[in-house]
Structures are given as C-alpha cells and as structure tokens.
Amino acid sequence: MNLRTVILAPWRASKPAAQGAALSLFVLAVLVAIAVVMYSTKPARWTSSAMIIGLGEGFLWAFMMSSTVLLAIDARQLRLPGIQRSVIVGLLLYGLLGVAVPTAVLSLFGGHPGAIGAIIMLFCVGGFAFALLPRYLGMAMCLIPATFNALPSSIALPGPVDPDFFHFAMLAAGALLLMIVLCWHRLLHVANPYESGWTQPMVMQFRFASRRAGWNPWTGFGGGIHGVDSTQRIRRRPSWLQPVADLRDCGPGHPVRSLRIALGGLLMPLTMTAHLRQFAFVIVPSLLFVVLMTLQGVHRHGVAALLTAWHDGGLIMLIWFGAFGSMMLAFFCIGQVWQLWQKPNAELPLLALLPGLDGSAQVKRDLLHAILLQPMRVLALLLLVLLMLTASLHLSARASLFVLLGQLGSIGFVVAFTLTTIGGRPLGPWATGALAIFGCILINVSLFVPTLSDPGQMKLGGGTLPDLFVVGWVVLAVALPWLGRRGWRGLMQRPHPFLPN
C-alpha cells in the first residue's frame, strides 16, 4: 500500500461517467456556495453555503465514493487484503479533506467551524449511507428532513445556528457511520453480495453498469438506468409490481395495440389491477411527503392559517410537481425508445417478422401512434389540470404562458426525439445531452420564477428574466421542429422502421 494507490482507489472503483456527473454537480455546488458567500447580506450566509457544498459532496459520496465497496468485495473474493486496506485508507483521507478544506475556507467568512464541519460531515456520511443501506431504507432517508421539520415545537431538533447543533450532528453522524460499517461488513462477508432485490443497497446497481461501456443522456450510465436495460429492470421488480399486459383487442387487425404490447415498458397497455398497483407505488410515497409537509405547516402556522396558505402555496406546489412529473415522463419515454433502437438486441428485428409489419408508410405511422399515443394522453391530461390550477390561482398571463410552454416543451421533446430515434438520425450524445439539459433548465426555471414573484421585478443585466425565458423558448421552438422534421424524413426514407441505429 502506498499513497498513490490510496488516492486512486475511488477513481479506479467508479466509472468515468459516474465520476463526471458527480464532479459536475460538486463543482456547480461550490460555485453556487461561492456566489452565496460573496453576494448574500445575511449574517448566517455561511450556513447556506455549507449546506450547498455538503449537498455537492453528498452526491460525490453517494454515486462515486460508494463504488469503493465493489472494489473491496472483489479484493476480498480474490484474497487481496492490501487493496481492501487501500480502499479504507482512501475513504478516510477523502473524508478528512472533504470536511476540513471547506470548513477552513468558510470559517474565514465568519462561520462557526464546528457547525460548518458538522453540516458537511452529515451530508457526506448521509450520501454514503444512502448508497450502502438497503434500498428501501436509503429511499426513506430522503424523507428525514421533512420528518424533522414536521416534529412539534416541544421536541424540535437544534438547527445549524443553535449552540447544541454540533453535539446533535455528531451523534447523528456517529449513528450513520455505525450503520455504514455494519452494511460494509455484511456486503463483504455475505455469500452472494451481488444478488438483486429490494434488500440490496443502491450501490449494487452500479455493479451492473460495468457490464456495458458508454453513456447517453437518456438512459444513464452504461446504456440503461444504473446500467441495466429494460428487461433486466423488469426481472428485478417484486412480483406484485410486475407489469401485466392487457391482451384484449390485439393481433393483425389491431397493429397499434399489438405494437404497444411488443414494445413494452411505459408504452404497454396494462390491466386495471396492474395500473392500480403502479399508481399506488408512485402515489403513496408522495402522499407521505404531503402529510409531513402538512404537519410542518400546522405546527408553524396553525390549522386556520394553513388552510389559507394552501390555496396559494399548495396549488403552486401542485403545479410544480405536475410540470416536473411531465418532464420526467417525457424523458423516460424517450429513454425507452432510445434504448430499443440504440443497443444491439434481438427484440427489434423480431418485430419485423410479425405479420403485416413491412416497410410501408402505414406501418411507420402505426409505430409512431404506438409510441406516442400513451404519453400524449397523459401529458395532455396533465396540461388540462395545470391550466385549471393556474386559472384558480389567478396567475398573471405571463406566468400562465410559462406553465403552458412547459407542458408543450415536454410534448415537443417526446415527439422530436422519438422521430429522430426511429428515423435513424439521432443526434450525438453530447448534442443530445446539451439540448436535454437546456430544456430541463428552461422548463424548470421559467416555471418556478414567475410563480414566486412579480416578473417585472426580476432583473438580470439590461433586461428581465422573463425576457430571457422568451429567448430560450424561441430557441427551443426552432430546435425541436427541426429535429422532428429531420427524423420524419429519415423515417420515411428508411426501408424498414425496425432497423437499429
């Protein structure tokens, strides 16, 4: 064991794509923290900066440093104890530097060193625990902040500016470290550490990412979400979450429905029972979050004030959730289509062998209907609901316009990128990623900012932020139709729609 091996251990254990994503988020967090320290006039600005840096480091430990356990498992199975020691020493070194350096810097701006170090340590340990704890416990950790805020004032926990915060944070970090050590020991000594299931930690999903090289912005690391393709993800679901296709009205006389069944995933028509199960799987955690936020509001403002605030803040939150859900649905649909047409597999050419699925223009149109029908229905329904919410809130015309544009942008992404993918003319991974990030930022920021304040007061340079949003939407309104037309022409010129790219 030497210093070079210790320093390089986390970099050798994780994939370059995961390193790039985690480091990008960390750099972004550092830049935002610097801006808060330089331009904020609040006395406790160091608290916000410490939490922002801690969030960036939490991503590093959750998605990059956690992969070291995979290297430790392999080293133990290969009987290489020196590598295990290098991994552990490397984690301790990076943990010490990750806490000490930002603590020393922020202390120069008047922050309390103990509180800053405790905040950053909690985020680092929390991110590592999120990756190493069983999956259901790791997901439950996301609700811990809301749970603490929902506690009654009689048992309120100390905040970052309270004198007792350091002792509380040390106890919490110690408990998380103990759980990390136990999970680490269990993973190294269990008979089959790579067995899939809900009791396995999130870091085990990264193991499958090493099976495939490459990255694309729609399907994540290694050609699938966590490097796992759609068939593998389906096999790893619990039995009660397995999709059950509705096979009524399928066959040669119903090509659109038959293609939806063959494509599977989000496009497949399900039975009512399967729909209800998946709906409950999504809604129940969301309702738990809503209950926690409601309790927090009751403890802070009382029941009467909460009912008054719900009409404004609650409905705006629903608009945000609806718009964000639309965007995620659009990207998941695009990711599924990208995966089917992008990776080498036997599924896509087999579709060409089905009766009646030749290279005619009608078959190509049926394929488009099969892919776009279900997402368009859901997105159109969400658009109607969001417009009704904006009308009940009496938002300004400009804010309502941005809500409408956000939904139309999600619809445009689905149509344009579906056409480019099945038309055989997809953009390169970097161009696709840049456009996807641009669309995400534009949809989110132009939706959030106008609903929070008066658009006329949001100045940036020589103009207002909504003016810049309009420029961004003009760029998107030109790019997406151009992509759609490019993909449509490619699809019509293709000899067969089921050719992989």
**For the chain, how big is the Rg over CA atoms in Å?**
25
Looking at residue 147, its pLDDT comes to 58
> How high is the pLDDT of residue 144?
67
> What pLDDT does residue 462 have?
39
pLDDT of residue 226: 38
| SS3 label, residue 313 | helix
Question: What is the domain partition of the chain in residue ranges?
Answer: 3-211, 246-493
pLDDT tens-place values along the chain, 501 residues long = 678 888 888 888 888 877 887 888 888 888 888 888 777 767 677 888 888 899 899 989 988 899 899 889 988 888 888 888 889 999 999 999 999 999 998 888 777 888 899 999 999 999 999 888 887 776 667 666 655 555 555 566 677 777 788 888 889 889 999 999 999 999 888 888 777 666 778 888 666 544 443 444 444 433 433 344 555 555 556 666 667 777 787 777 788 888 888 887 778 888 888 777 777 766 766 666 666 666 655 555 555 555 554 555 556 666 777 777 788 888 888 888 888 887 666 677 777 777 777 778 888 888 999 899 888 988 898 888 888 878 877 777 777 777 888 889 889 999 999 999 999 888 877 788 788 888 887 887 767 655 544 444 333 333 455 567 778 888 899 999 999 999 999 999 888 888 887
pLDDT at position 197: 64
Contact (Cβ atoms closer than 8 angstroms) between residue 368 and residue 494: no
**Rounded Cα–Cα distance for residues 84 and 80 (Å):** 7
Residue 163, classed as helix, strand or coil, is coil
Supply the pLDDT for residue 276: 79
Provide the token pair at 78: 């290969």
Question: In angstroms, rounded to a whole number, what is the distance separating the alpha carbons of residues 130 and 122?
Answer: 12
- What integer pLDDT is reported at residue 487 of this predicted model? 92
Instruction: Give the pLDDT of residue 315.
Output: 63
SS3 156: coil
Please report the pLDDT score of residue 1 as a whole number: 66
CB 161 within 8 A of CB 115: yes
Contact present, 261 and 243 (Cβ < 8 Å): no
Contacts of residue 444, Cβ cutoff 8 Å, sequence gap at least 6: 323, 324, 327
Shortest CA distance to 92 belongs to which of 68, 59, 123? 68
- Spatial contact of 180 and 109, defined as CB atoms under 8 Å apart: no
pLDDT at 25: 83
What are the b/e assignments for 72-94, b being 16+ CB within 10 Å?
bbebbeeeeeebbbbbebbbeeb
**Beta-bridge mates of residue 251:** 254
Burial environment of residue 332 by CB neighbours within 10 A (0 to 12, 13 to 18, 19 or more): middle
DSSP 472-492: HHHHHHHHHHHHHHHHHHHHH
pLDDT at residue 206 in the model = 62
Which spans in 40-164 are helix H? 45-63, 68-77, 81-107, 113-132, 135-140, 144-149
Go through the chain and tell me how many residues it has. 501
Partner residues linked to 460 by β-bridges: 463
